[in-house]
Homo-oligomer: A and B are copies of this chain.
Amino acid sequence: MAVSEGLAIGALARRTGLAVSAIRYYEAQGLISPWRNAGGQRRYQRADIRRLSFVMIAQQFGLTLPEIREVLLELPGNRTPTPQDWKNISAGLRAHLDQRIDTLMRLRDNLDGCIGCGCLSLPKCKLYNPDDRAKSHGSGPRYLMGDAPEA
């Protein structure tokens, strides 16, 4: 086998720790774009290992797949990303992470306040601040305090 035939999906799965089905799913979501060999099978570059690694890390940081897709668009399309390219977009992740930590710490401080005052049920409690609420966790519809649709 020649050096530049690329990785088959199974090999990529083994190297990244991802399931084969997950890699196909990521392709469907536009996160990765392999080419096809003569028989129609997917072939990947070695740089794609790094790309998927980035996807996994960004997920841990709470980014959704569409968000990750956007971030990855910042990579150069015309050449294999360099370490510097990766450092650049990782810096963006760092900002995102800082924000999440910040939100949680504010939440914690508010909880401390509420433990003190026992106001758990009061609408004016800071824990009900809509800014801190919703869209931070999980999936599916959420219409929480102040997030309800108009009508």
Residues in chain A within 8 A of chain B (CB atoms): 17-19, 49-50, 53-54, 56-57, 59-62, 83, 86-87, 90-91, 93-94, 97-98, 100-101, 104-105, 107-108, 111-112, 114-115, 118, 120-121, 125, 127-128, 132-133, 136-140, 143-146, 148
State whether A54 touches B90 (Cβ < 8 A): no
> In whole angstroms, how far apart are the Cα atoms of A107 and B54 in the complex?
14
Number of copies: 2
List of B residues within 8 angstroms of A62 by Cβ? 137
A112-B94, A115-B94, A143-B19 as given contacts; A120 in contact with B60, CB under 8 Å? no
List of B residues within 8 angstroms of A54 by Cβ? 120
List of B residues within 8 angstroms of A144 by Cβ? 17-18, 56
List of B residues within 8 angstroms of A94 by Cβ? 108, 111-112, 115
| Nearest neighbor of A137 in chain B, beta-carbon distance | B62
> In whole angstroms, how far apart are the Cα atoms of A36 and B119 in the complex?
28
Question: Within the complex, what minimum Cβ distance (angstroms) separates A32 from chain B?
Answer: 14
State whether B115 touches A108 (Cβ < 8 A): no
Question: Within the complex, what minimum Cβ distance (angstroms) separates A124 from chain B?
Answer: 12
State whether B97 touches A101 (Cβ < 8 A): no
In the assembled complex, 16 residue pairs joining A and B whose CB atoms fall closer than 8 Å, in A order, are: A17-B144, A17-B146, A19-B143, A50-B120, A50-B121, A53-B120, A54-B120, A60-B107, A60-B136, A62-B137, A83-B118, A86-B118, A86-B120, A90-B111, A93-B111, A97-B107
